Structure 1
Amino acid sequence: MSADPRSGDPDAPEEWEAVFWDVGGVVLDLESVRAAHTAFVADLLERRDVDATIEEAIAAWRSAVGDHFRERDGTAFRAARDGYHKGIEAVVGEPIPRAEWKPPFREAVRSSIEPVPGAVETVERLAARDLHVGVVSDVDDEEGRWMLEQFGVREAFDSITTSEEVGRTKPDPAMFETALEKAGVAPERSLMIGDRYEHDVEGAAEAGLHGVAFGAEDGPAVSYRIESPLEILEIVDGERDE
């Protein structure tokens, strides 16, 4: 399949049946997530009177959260909320009950996160068409749905498939197979938009879907490369040179 967005996908169907979205980096702007975490850690330092600079605290947070995911067994699911719990303990020096840290964490996220420009409009416009619009994401189930609600697009999605639900993370084929089964669509008539080549694009291609790279690395599994989510509308409408 071609990685050149102007050459199109030689295997593209006459009509698409489904468009699946990753969340982080595709719908949710990741820089805004990092800003949310920084704001939360800064507030944590102040509330718990921790003797550390914000730079030191953020480094401890990122190391602990990163280790949490790096210790994952293959594609087995690991909840982000458990990673955050470990990150908080690394910053403060002791565990804090989840009921205590979750409300301020949620508020920091709510006030900081932003959608990727064009993503909300594209999802809404796709939802008005006769095709399935779904999510295939490694996010925690509750948190992923909550973030989509913050952007007002939760109800625009016909299905949401998360790693917590499936028990695996992308590129495990179970993620894509579950999403396709929910949608009742053929993989060869489906698009998957992602910002990571191996997980989103190649994983989708191996399951028979057409991978759309949005910031993802190049590679043979890329059927389309886009610079804005709005370009998905051109693909669905067959306006790319095929």
Structure 2
Amino acid sequence: MDAIFWDIGGVILDSSSVRTAHERFVAELCERNALGEPDEVLGTWRAELGAHFREREGTTFRSAREGYERAMAAVGDVPAEEWEPIFERTLFDSIEPNPGAVETIEALSNRELHLGVISDVDTAEGRRILETFDVHDRFDSITTSEMVGRTKPDPAIFEAALDAAGVDPQRSLMIGDRYRHDVEGAKRVGMRTAAYGTEDGPAIDYRLSDLRELLEIV
């Protein structure tokens, strides 16, 4: 293979640590601003954030930052200059990588291949996550749906990443945790696929129970 592409959320990033960060964020806001019971406020916050993404048209990109703003408007009148620093601190103090992600990225970066990211995250947030885990500079390219204007499984985001890397899709591998978005999307443009924590399906070439297994596959 000439290139390995990673998803961020659910593959590099442990998604459960993001949920923990959101819980801590809302709990601190409630304590500071008397917004109500934290569990109820968290439910409203998550519902609004979810609605923000569900309302997008097809694979059109929608910013997570705009979703956070919408969710905050629903739970109370807290100025952005107050809630944004709390959100940033609780998020980046709480997030964790999935087991084996960092050491596998480091090992692959020392091999003769292109290491890239294909992710639906906002560009700045994605880069900050990679910096927090000290792997940002290990990647040769980062392609986000914000850059392309489309989310997975739209072929445009995979094709943009392949063009940036200058590699043949058949000699490239996509690692993802969502079957329809990551695995089927990559397979449609001719890439090989590795599934991590997703359901089974015919588009899967390799299944990973541990990200370190990728080193043997490559």
Q: Which TM-score bucket, shorter chain as reference?
A: over 0.9
The alignment status of 1:102 with 2:84, answered yes or no, reads yes
AA aligned opposite 1:127? S
Once the two structures are TM-superposed, the CA of residue 97 in structure 1 deviates from its matched residue by 4.0
Take 2:80 and 2:211, find their aligned partners in 1: how far apart are those partners?
A: 35
Question: Within 5 Å, which residues of 2 pair with 1:130-149?
Answer: 130-149=112-131
AA aligned opposite 2:204? V
SS in 1 for 2:68: helix
Aligned equivalent of 2:216, options 234, 237, 241: 234
Please report the TM-score for the alignment, with normalisation by the length of structure 2: 0.98
Q: Percent identity?
A: 58
Instruction: Tell me how large the CA RMSD over aligned residues is.
Output: 0.8
Once the two structures are TM-superposed, the CA of residue 100 in structure 1 deviates from its matched residue by 3.0
The alignment status of 1:86 with 2:70, answered yes or no, reads yes
Take 1:38 and 1:66, find their aligned partners in 2: how far apart are those partners?
A: 15
Residue 152 of structure 1 corresponds to which residue in structure 2?
134
Please report the TM-score for the alignment, with normalisation by the length of structure 1: 0.88
Post-superposition CA distance 1:134-181 (Å, at most 9, x none): 000000000000010000000000000001000000000000000000
Once the two structures are TM-superposed, the CA of residue 121 in structure 1 deviates from its matched residue by 0.3
Aligned equivalent of 2:19, options 30, 34, 38: 34
Residue 206 of structure 1 corresponds to which residue in structure 2?
188
The alignment status of 1:68 with 2:32, answered yes or no, reads no
Post-superposition CA distance 1:223-242 (Å, at most 9, x none): 00010111111110xxxxxx
Post-superposition CA distance 1:178-215 (Å, at most 9, x none): 00000011000000000000000000000110111001
Unaligned runs of 5+ in 1: 1-15, 237-242
AA aligned opposite 2:96? E
Take 2:166 and 2:79, find their aligned partners in 1: how far apart are those partners?
A: 42
Unaligned runs of 5+ in 2: none
Once the two structures are TM-superposed, the CA of residue 73 in structure 1 deviates from its matched residue by 0.4
Take 1:182 and 1:132, find their aligned partners in 2: how far apart are those partners?
A: 10
SS in 2 for 1:73: coil
| Higher-Rg member (1/2) | 1
Range moving further from structure 2, 169-178 or 52-61: 52-61
AA aligned opposite 1:107? R
SS in 2 for 1:230: helix
**Larger RCO (CA under 8 A, 6+ residues apart):** 1
SS in 1 for 2:211: coil
Post-superposition CA distance 1:115-134 (Å, at most 9, x none): 00100000000000000000
AA aligned opposite 1:171? P
Say how many residue pairs are matched: 218
Residue 219 of structure 1 corresponds to which residue in structure 2?
201
Take 1:99 and 1:182, find their aligned partners in 2: how far apart are those partners?
A: 36
Once the two structures are TM-superposed, the CA of residue 88 in structure 1 deviates from its matched residue by 1.3
AA aligned opposite 1:91? V
Post-superposition CA distance 1:7-26 (Å, at most 9, x none): xxxxxxxxx00000000000
Post-superposition CA distance 1:76-121 (Å, at most 9, x none): 00000111111112221x3x44333221101001110000010000
